[in-house]
Amino acid sequence: MELRDVTLREAPQRPGRSYTADQRIAAGHALDRLDVSYVQAGFPVTGETDAAVTSSLAGELDATVTALARPVEEDVTAALDTGAGVVDLFAPFSTLQLRHSLQKPRDAVIEQLTEARDRVEAAGATVHLSVVDAFRTETDHLLSVCEAFPDVQNLTLADTVGRRTPTEVRERLTTLADAGVDLGRIGVHFHDDLGVATANVLAAHDCGVGYADVSVASLGERAGNPALEEVVATGVLSRETAFGTDRSALVPACRSVLDALDEQVDDRKAILGSSVTTHESGIHTAAMLAEPATFEPFDPSLFGGERTLLFGAETGRSGAATLLERAGVDGDPQRLAALLAEAGPVEYEAAVDLAREMGTEEDG
């Protein structure tokens, strides 16, 4: 399964968020260090910033840059003018969306997509198709789209409103596969409204889909998209695959994207949050000095991150005793109490230095 990062397009869709072209371009270059297959740079017809970002990155990234477009002349022209290698055409097919959003019959939408596809291919670019609200679209109608575009290498099914769960994702994909659809050319696009976007991607991977959309730290409209860092980390740890990315660059690259966009994540954010790999609890710290795996789900260095051990009031006598031992200082009760009183909280190396100083003072 290959990943298409949609951070640059999805993140600006959040209320109150606006990034300069330079910010998004810098974020695109940071993403490129991670070796994702595709970077969806923008929706060019929507404005100069999206067009400029897409044009700039299309000529600079190793990843294939994609531009979003509806199957209408103005959108397709704007996307092609950027020089993007792929034009992502999107349209709805669910009864709900056709009736209340597009006000067109399905046959007319397929005709529009066909004309847009032909124009993109004639210009020398590759076509990707995305079916809006696909997971609420009747199976027969999804099959009609797959049959109408048999040569499209990436036909993405979007859970546009973030309503589906892993069980429902597996059921829908299995139904399509049983009907003869090659899931290797199917992509998935999820939203995290129910908090299961990453799990949905893993479920889709297990079914054999070829592509998945992700975004750094889930940046995207509403609750966001599957977090790139979560998908890659869980892929490495539970599926023995990094989905074509450089796992060792995961944390640094994602943090560089956040820095470029002037975004921050909660300390408790999976993979990227500082609290995830920081430990102060006495039981945890004492055990981790002997073997870090005792209280860690993974070695942070696997993804380019770092472990932080804090020593302070919460460390406890066992951790303090181990610390004094590491410093080559006798851990008598008086020293233990003094170390716990003075350390606080400080990182491991600073705590060892403090313990050594205490031993030197005692010797003097």
Residues 201 and 317 in one domain: no
pLDDT classification of 362: cutoffs 50, 70, 90: low
Q: What is the pLDDT of residues 176-200, one digit of tens each?
A: 999 999 999 999 999 999 999 999 9
State how far the Cα of 163 lies from the Cα of 32, in Å rounded to an integer. Answer: 31
Residues 306 and 248 in one domain: no
269 in any annotated domain = no
Indicate if the pLDDT at residue 276 is higher than 80.
Answer: yes
- DSSP for residue 215: B
Indicate if the pLDDT at residue 331 is higher than 80.
Answer: no
Q: What is the pLDDT of residues 335-345, one digit of tens each?
A: 666 666 665 56
341 in any annotated domain = yes
Beta bridge partners of 308: 278
State how far the Cα of 299 lies from the Cα of 304, in Å rounded to an integer. Answer: 9
Residues 6 or more apart whose Cβ sits within 8 Å of residue 190: 158, 159, 162, 164, 197, 200, 201, 213, 225, 226
- DSSP for residue 125: P
Q: Could you list the residue range(s) of the whole structural domain that residue 223 is in? A: 2-260
Structure-token match 């044009």, residue found:
55
Residues 156 and 236 in one domain: yes
47 in any annotated domain = yes
42 in any annotated domain = yes
Residues above pLDDT 90, as percent of the chain? 70
Query: Mean pLDDT in the chain?
Result: 89
Indicate if the pLDDT at residue 361 is higher than 90.
Answer: no
- Mean pLDDT value of segment 305-316: 70
Residues 19 and 162 in one domain: yes
53 in any annotated domain = yes
- Tokens standing for 124? 């020398």
Residues 82 and 183 in one domain: yes
Indicate if the pLDDT at residue 117 is higher than 70.
Answer: yes
In the prediction, which pLDDT does 155 show? 98
Cβ atoms of 220 and 6 within 8 Å: the answer is yes
266 in any annotated domain = no
Residues 14 and 146 in one domain: yes
For 150, other C-beta atoms within 10 Å of its C-beta total 9
In the prediction, which pLDDT does 283 show? 60
Element (H, E) at 87: strand 86-92
Dihedral sign, Cα of residue 322, residue 328, residue 331, residue 336? negative
In the prediction, which pLDDT does 266 show? 95
265 in any annotated domain = no
Residues 349 and 202 in one domain: no
In the prediction, which pLDDT does 94 show? 78
State how far the Cα of 28 lies from the Cα of 22, in Å rounded to an integer. Answer: 10
Residues 22 and 171 in one domain: yes
In the prediction, which pLDDT does 358 show? 65
268 in any annotated domain = no
Residues 40 and 10 in one domain: yes
Indicate if the pLDDT at residue 307 is higher than 60.
Answer: yes
Indicate if the pLDDT at residue 326 is higher than 60.
Answer: yes
Q: What is the pLDDT of residues 157-171, one digit of tens each?
A: 999 999 999 999 999
| Beta strands 38-42; 278-279: pairing state | unpaired
Q: Under DSSP, is residue 177 helix (H, G, I), strand (E, B) or coil?
A: helix
Residues 17 and 158 in one domain: yes
In the prediction, which pLDDT does 342 show? 64
Where does a domain end: 260, 292, 312?
Answer: 260
The CATH number for 172's domain is: 3.20.20.70
Count of structural domains, the chain? 2
Indicate if the pLDDT at residue 239 is higher than 70.
Answer: yes
Residues 6 or more apart whose Cβ sits within 8 Å of residue 115: 71
